[in-house]
Amino acid sequence: MTHRWPGGARCVAMLTVDFDGTGNEVGQGFDPVGIRAAGGYSARRGIPRMLDIFERHEIPATFFVPGYDAEQHPDLVREIVSRGHEIGAHGYLHERWEVPLDEEEPLLRKAHDILVDVAGVAPRGWRSPGGMKSAQTLRVLRDLGYIFDSSDKDYDLPYPAIVAGEQSTEMIELPNNTSSLDDTYLYVEGAATPEEVLDLWLAEFDAIYHDGGYFMLTYHPRAGFGSGIPSRASVIERLVPAIKRYSDVAFMQLGALAEWCLDPANGFQPAERWIGARP
């Protein structure tokens, strides 16, 4: 079932980047050197390369940045913003473990305050760095002024976020498909080549374009873990022009899409009304 999206577009396309620098290793108690130095590539080469690609193709992107990485690379975070991109929160030390409930709210607020201080603008969205969420996560984020979460993988269209057990009119869930539209899963777990990834993403886009029209990609700029290196970054370079050849496609940042979905005047509804009940 097709939808009408902002501006009457048939399909919305969102390119997102998870910064995932050295905080990944530091959070696990490792010194980010030697075999554990892949995170250092993000700030040195991966993100600058992606910024240049996005600029060449005039693509607005959303970057999810852990607080620790923002502290380590404040100038780069400010450059992301100055080049017209959106900053979202992504934990502090890319926590891939379940954070104790009594520690979660202070940690969410800490990462938020760091991004506000470094970027000069408050993040409006969050993506769980390790896929973990609790019953209080979105309540805390809502209280901080967030309007979207992009962590869940249980639907192929946006839907009202479940906050404190209720559908929210203030937050929207923008689900991301990590099984086939996330570079790390394909390159690391699937051992795919750049050509194979490009073919898959083109096929995924074509299918989504003719269905709900909600297409989101997740990139990682780390060396060996995603799309930061030249051969894999070239996939982005070739994918974007191919998408642009389709009619009525709108490239959007997640915050702008969230605003549009939450505005009752736009009358947005998923193809099937979300009726799932969760904590």
Please state, rounded to an integer, the average pLDDT across all residues of the chain.
91
In Å, how far from its chain's centre is CA 69?
16
* pLDDT on residue 263: 95
Report the pLDDT value the prediction gives residue 277, as an integer from 0 to 100. Answer: 47
How many domains does the structure of the chain reveal? Answer: 1
Low-confidence ranges of the chain (pLDDT < 70): 1-2, 27, 29, 97, 270-279
Domain range enclosing 48: 6-266
> Is residue 251 in some structural domain?
yes
Q: Residue 29: exposed, middle, or buried by beta-carbon count in 10 A (0-12, 13-18, 19+)?
A: exposed
Instruction: CATH number of the domain at 56, please.
Output: 3.20.20.370
Instruction: Specify if 277 maps to a domain.
Output: no
Our CA angle for 152, 101, 32, nearest 5°, is 75
Nearest CA to 64 out of 22, 145, 125, 110 is that of 125
Residue 140 included in any domain: yes
**Of 251, 234, 245, 262, which is closest to residue 16 (Cα–Cα)?**
251
CA distance 73 to 67: 10
For the stretch 110-155, pLDDT in tens is: 999 999 999 999 999 999 998 889 989 999 999 999 999 999 998 9
11-18 and 125-126 beta bridge pairing: unpaired
Report pLDDT for 271. Answer: 52
**Which amino acid, 156?**
D
Q: Domain for residue 274, yes or no?
A: no
What's phi and psi for 126, nearest 5 deg? -140, 145
Asked, for residue 212, whether it belongs to a domain, the answer is: yes
Containing 195, the helix (H) or strand (E) segment is: helix 194-209
The two most distant CA atoms of the chain are separated, in Å, by 54
Per the structure block, which two tokens stand in for 239? 């994918």
Contact 136, 99 (CB under 8 A): no
Single-letter amino acid code for the residue at 115: L
Q: Is 168 part of any domain? A: yes
Q: 236 lies in a domain?
A: yes
Sign of CA dihedral 36, 198, 270, 112: positive
Give the pLDDT of residue 279: 42
Cβ–Cβ under 8 Å, residues 220 and 227: yes
pTM: 0.94
pLDDT at 105: 95
